[in-house]
């Protein structure tokens, strides 16, 4: 399976580390022989070799100098292709889209994904923008071309929250979805309960690779809002727009609020909620003080949780990592394995 990685930041590098460390197991256990033929990143440079790149040397170059320009010159190596040329003109069968998330335009990821499908290539992505804003259009394009589009990493990183809602619970009517959908804010709230300042906790979340490139998206609730748009489109099959979501972040919470909650035997959590209503879908993101006995109160750090309220099973909850380099890298791997299982990468 020949891969081109568009966007080589935290998540793209996380996937390459997993392929480097587990390549042998993946070949033996799952018949997945994943070869990275191209990496293209606006800031970190671009390299392509039709036979495949050395994962070790790619990581070594980018982690030493912040760029793949130091990748060794070998016969047949092509440098400097832009993202659209990499998608259209290389021999990659699967495009791994891991550029930055833009929840207003969905770009440049939406164009990358559209171009991939128009070029007969599968896509796996953890990029929330195009799924939140253009799910129906891009899914239809993939289907019309007989291609796969893996999106597991867009909600709760590698924790299979979307597969649970769309595959394992198929047959149930899901009436409500609620949970803790942002790792950064949950990490910050947990650290503040343990005495850290807001600034210290945010810096730590950034260092650990949880936060968005612009962490405003996390702390003001836009990231959780984006995930609600994804859940509405993917699980409810009822796309909604950002204007339909009532949103509040955590930036107004101060140490005094955290202390007040503790005194009342409660804890702050940023809760995202989606409910079917008679005339559509109600969606909200807001911090709530919840009782310590509430199941979500024990979900701490960058761990997230999602509860599906169903007609046939009642409530089903999945708890697991919501963000992170390896965790989101794994989401992409799970989508690659899905393509492998479907036998459609060649």
Question: Which residues are identified as catalytic?
Answer: 227
Contact 71, 53 (CB under 8 A): yes
Q: How many CA atoms lie within 13 A of 70 on its CB side?
A: 12
The least distance separating ligand HSE from the CB of residue 35, rounded to whole angstroms, comes to 27
- Tokens 């343990």, residue? 194
The least distance separating ligand HSE from the CB of residue 19, rounded to whole angstroms, comes to 20
Q: How many CA atoms lie within 13 A of 53 on its CB side?
A: 32
Which one of the spans 12-20, 105-113, 168-176, 206-214 is the region binding ligand HSE (CB under 6 A)?
A: 206-214
Residues 6+ apart with CB under 8 A from 25: none
Give the Å distances, CA to CA, from 234 to 139, 151, 155, 229, 249.
Answer: 10, 10, 11, 8, 24
Instruction: Considering only the C-alpha atoms of the chain, give the largest distance between any 2 of them, rounded to a whole number of Å.
Output: 67
> Which C-beta is closer to ligand HSE: that of 45 or that of 209?
209
Q: Is 202 in the site for ligand HSE (CB under 6 A)?
A: no
The least distance separating ligand HSE from the CB of residue 210, rounded to whole angstroms, comes to 5
Query: Going residue by residue from 223 to 242, which x/- string records binding to ligand HSE, judged by CB under 6 A?
Result: x-------------------
The least distance separating ligand HSE from the CB of residue 184, rounded to whole angstroms, comes to 3
> Which C-beta is closer to ligand HSE: that of 69 or that of 107?
107
CA dihedral 209, 218, 174, 143 (to 10 degrees): -70
The least distance separating ligand HSE from the CB of residue 186, rounded to whole angstroms, comes to 8
Q: Is 318 in the site for ligand HSE (CB under 6 A)?
A: no
Sort 73 into a burial class: Cβ within 10 Å, 0-12 / 13-18 / 19+: exposed
Q: Which of 218, 249, 307, 329 binds ligand HSE (CB under 6 A)?
A: 218
3-state secondary structure of 338: helix
Q: Is 183 in the site for ligand HSE (CB under 6 A)?
A: yes
Q: Is 5 in the site for ligand HSE (CB under 6 A)?
A: no
Q: Is 189 in the site for ligand HSE (CB under 6 A)?
A: no
Q: Is 184 in the site for ligand HSE (CB under 6 A)?
A: yes
Contact 244, 234 (CB under 8 A): no
Q: Is 330 in the site for ligand HSE (CB under 6 A)?
A: no
Query: 151-180: which residues touch ligand HSE (CB under 6 A)?
Result: 157
Q: Which of 97, 212, 220, 335 binds ligand HSE (CB under 6 A)?
A: 212
Which one of the spans 32-40, 209-217, 245-253, 254-262 is the region binding ligand HSE (CB under 6 A)?
A: 209-217
Between the two ends of the chain, the Cα-to-Cα distance in Å is: 8
C-alpha span between 108 and 222 (Å, rounded): 18
Q: Is 322 in the site for ligand HSE (CB under 6 A)?
A: yes
The least distance separating ligand HSE from the CB of residue 148, rounded to whole angstroms, comes to 21
Q: Is 285 in the site for ligand HSE (CB under 6 A)?
A: no
Q: Which of 10, 182, 273, 345 binds ligand HSE (CB under 6 A)?
A: 182
The least distance separating ligand HSE from the CB of residue 156, rounded to whole angstroms, comes to 8
C-alpha span between 190 and 16 (Å, rounded): 30
C-alpha span between 293 and 265 (Å, rounded): 9
Q: Which of 34, 219, 323, 339 binds ligand HSE (CB under 6 A)?
A: 323
Q: How many C-beta atoms surround the C-beta of residue 297 within 10 A?
A: 16
Q: What does the H/E/C string look like for 297-319? A: HHCCCCEEEEEEEECCCEEEEEE
Binding site for ligand HSE (CB under 6 A): 157, 182-184, 210-212, 218, 223, 322-323
């Amino acid at each position: 399976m020949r891969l081109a990685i568009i966007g080589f930041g935290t998540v793209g590098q996380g996937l390459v580390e997993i392929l480097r460390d587990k390549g042998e197991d993946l070949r033996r256990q799952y018949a997945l022989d994943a070869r990275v033929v191209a990496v293209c990143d606006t800031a970190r440079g671009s390299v392509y070799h039709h036979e495949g790149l050395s994962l070790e040397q790619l990581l070594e170059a980018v982690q030493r100098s912040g760029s793949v320009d130091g990748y060794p010159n070998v016969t047949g190596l092509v440098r400097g292709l832009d993202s659209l040329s990499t998608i259209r003109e290389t021999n990659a069968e699967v495009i791994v889209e891991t550029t930055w998330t833009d929840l207003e335009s969905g770009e440049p990821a939406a164009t990358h994904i559209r171009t991939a499908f128009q070029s007969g290539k599968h896509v796996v992505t953890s990029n929330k923008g195009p799924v939140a804003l253009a799910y129906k259009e891009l899914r239809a394009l993939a289907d019309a071309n007989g291609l796969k589009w893996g999106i597991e990493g867009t909600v709760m990183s590698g924790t299979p929250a979307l597969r649970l809602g769309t595959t394992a619970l198929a047959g149930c009517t899901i009436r409500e979805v609620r949970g803790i959908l942002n790792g950064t804010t949950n990490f910050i709230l947990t650290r503040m309960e343990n005495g850290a300042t807001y600034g210290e906790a945010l810096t730590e979340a950034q260092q650990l690779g949880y936060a968005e490139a612009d962490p405003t998206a996390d702390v003001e609730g836009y990231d959780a809002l984006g995930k609600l748009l994804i859940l509405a489109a993917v699980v409810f099959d009822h796309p909604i727009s950002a204007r339909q979501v009532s949103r509040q972040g955590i930036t107004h919470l101060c140490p005094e609020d955290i202390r007040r909650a503790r005194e009342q035997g409660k804890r702050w959590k940023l809760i995202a909620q989606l409910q079917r209503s008679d005339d559509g879908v109600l969606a909200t993101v807001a911090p709530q003080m919840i009782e310590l006995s509430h199941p979500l109160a024990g979900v701490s750090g960058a761990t997230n949780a999602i509860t599906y309220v169903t007609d046939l099973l009642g409530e089903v909850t999945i708890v697991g990592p919501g963000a992170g380099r390896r965790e989101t890298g794994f989401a992409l791997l799970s989508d690659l394995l899905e393509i492998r299982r479907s036998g459609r990468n060649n």
